[in-house]
Structure 1
Amino acid sequence: MILPDSERDSLILIVDDNVPSIEILSALLKDLGDIIVATSGADAIKLAEEHQPDLILLDQEMPGMDGYETCRALKANDETRHCAIIFVTAHAGEDLEVDAFAAGAVDFIAKPFNAPVVIARVNTHLVLKRNRDALQQLADRDGLTGVYNRRYLDTQLTTEIRRHHRQGQSLGFAMVDIDFFKAYNDGYGHLAGDDCLRRFAQRLSGMLRRPGELVARYGGEEFAIVIPHLSVDSAEGFAQWVCQGVRDMALPHAFSDIHSHLTASVGLAVGVPPNGMSARELTSFADAALYEAKSNGRNTTVVNRFDRQVNE
């Protein structure tokens, strides 16, 4: 799971075709965060997609893909559009500044470098980025359980579908439903029901192991798990592991028709997303698997190979 900005060092991407400039900036900024570098616009986009830096220092003039084109591409990309970009330039002028801001930049650093100014500008934008991310974290979270909410899930799932299609990689998406939650809520009371939802969400979140995995509250007692790069061969094992993890909570459920403790049903959709697949379409495959798991008596799992069905 990717750590929030408050729990990791800031990451700065320096993009310049001039190696001495990269070395100077790296030396100046080494105490402000971790640094990665690229010497072309195309490489910068690849690195930004992979690492999602907090701040990008982008040279205005580069051969081939220049700074403006690179900046526009980064801002048009769902995976990199939230990165703050500062242009690094040896030129000045109102037209250049207007063009840079129009492309999506937030500030400028002039060459030759003035060390105190460079450090101050970069530090200011890193602080602003952390503050924006903190506010966004609050907006993206479910108020009761603390896991991601439905709105964030839809956005992230769309991004992962596009990324996995582009990379030709298999993506897993699971829907997890607490069995007989209404009976639990009615039997123990709403306060206990809310506590059950919180503990359930914490359990699912605690089971995440790999970068990019996330848990979201889909609605009511339904939760969703996004599992990047989940292979078809591993899907059934993952779904059963989640199901067992819920049982291991050993949370009493005297009002369940099937078990003395809390259980869950899991429907998991897996495969390589086809071109143009939407988050809604992928959700429908996971939802169909969940419906089948509940029809099979609950406290069980069903895996749905959506790539086979799409291609038939």
Structure 2
Amino acid sequence: MLHIIDDEEVIRDSLSWLARSRKIPATGYASSEQFLSTLENQFSFDRDGDCILLDVRMPGLSGISLFDALSAKKLTRRLPVIFLTGHGDVPMAVDSLKRGAFDFFEKPFNDNKLMDRVLEALASSREAGVTAQIHDRLASLSSREREVLDLILQGKMNKVIADELGISMRTVEVHRAHIFDKMQVKTAVELAGMLK
């Protein structure tokens, strides 16, 4: 989902139309505050990725301040930000790139180049989402399951794992089943591919 945050309705509408022409779902927000309210109350990450097109200068909370708030919450990998800047805002936008913004475009911008970068940002967001899911799944493992997982990833068989950990082979099998279930995989090869 492309999130367009700009105080000018005509810009939100034209960017939404441009996104739809490239089959990118988009929604507009008239202010940073409106987006933050949505983020806190009813936001859910899109499995196809999310990206923010953000105007630098807006009444109330500026685009830079919103970016800083998202950065503080460590959300800019899942919600990559592409700034839309006026001529005088370029140094500010360059500084934001150094601090983790995905890109910036100076107005007026090339429509196709902008949408190409949006697609790249959506792909980056999807990848970050998958990484976050894997991290959450790993965090759900018990300390013993983590020990068994490490030995599975070393290619060791259940009997060897049981001997190394001083537990029964049946216990290893139970841990292995729990690991596969929690990590949502069916084989050790799939597990190794996920965690490489």
Shift of 1:55: 1.0
In structure 2, C-alpha distance between the alignment counterparts of 1:150 and 1:62, rounded to whole Å: 47
Structure 2 unaligned residues grouped into runs of 5+: 144-166, 184-196
Shift of 1:16: 0.4
The 10-residue stretch of structure 1 (127-136 or 93-102) with the greater mean CA deviation from structure 2: 93-102
Question: Equivalent residue of 2:87, what SS?
Answer: coil
Identity of aligned residues (%): 27
Correspondence 1:15 to 2:5: yes
Correspondence 1:124 to 2:120: yes
- Which of these two proteins has the greater Rg computed from alpha carbons? 1
Correspondence 1:98 to 2:94: yes
Q: Aligned in 2, Cα 1:127/1:201: closer, same or farther, shift over 3 Å?
A: closer
In structure 1, C-alpha distance between the alignment counterparts of 2:174 and 2:68, rounded to whole Å: 48
Q: Aligned Cα RMSD in Å?
A: 3.0
Shift of 1:98: 3.0
Output the amino acid matched with 2:91: D
Using the size of structure 1 for normalisation, the TM-score is 0.42
- Report if the CA contact (8 A) 1:68-1:103 is conserved: no
Correspondence 1:59 to 2:55: yes
Output the amino acid matched with 1:28: L
Shift of 1:194: 2.9
2:137 to 141, 163, 176: 141
* Aligned residue pairs, count: 153
Structure 1 unaligned residues grouped into runs of 5+: 1-10, 152-184, 203-312
In structure 2, the partner of 1:167 is none
Shift of 1:32: 4.4
- Report if the CA contact (8 A) 2:82-2:105 is conserved: yes
Q: Aligned in 2, Cα 1:137/1:88: closer, same or farther, shift over 3 Å?
A: same
Using the size of structure 2 for normalisation, the TM-score is 0.64
What CA deviation, in whole Å up to 9, does each residue of 1:11-65 have, x standing for no partner? 2211000011001111111244332221111111122333255211111111121
1:39 to 9, 30, 33: 30
Output the amino acid matched with 1:193: V
Question: Equivalent residue of 1:64, what SS?
Answer: coil
Q: Which has the higher helix share?
A: 2
In structure 2, C-alpha distance between the alignment counterparts of 1:114 and 1:103, rounded to whole Å: 24
Output the amino acid matched with 2:25: D
- Report if the CA contact (8 A) 1:72-1:104 is conserved: no
Correspondence 1:86 to 2:82: yes
What CA deviation, in whole Å up to 9, does each residue of 1:265-296 have, x standing for no partner? xxxxxxxxxxxxxxxxxxxxxxxxxxxxxxxx
- Report if the CA contact (8 A) 1:72-1:103 is conserved: no
Q: Aligned in 2, Cα 1:102/1:138: closer, same or farther, shift over 3 Å?
A: same
Output the amino acid matched with 2:119: N
By relative contact order (CA 8 Å, sep 6+), the higher-ranking structure is 2
Question: Equivalent residue of 1:62, what SS?
Answer: coil
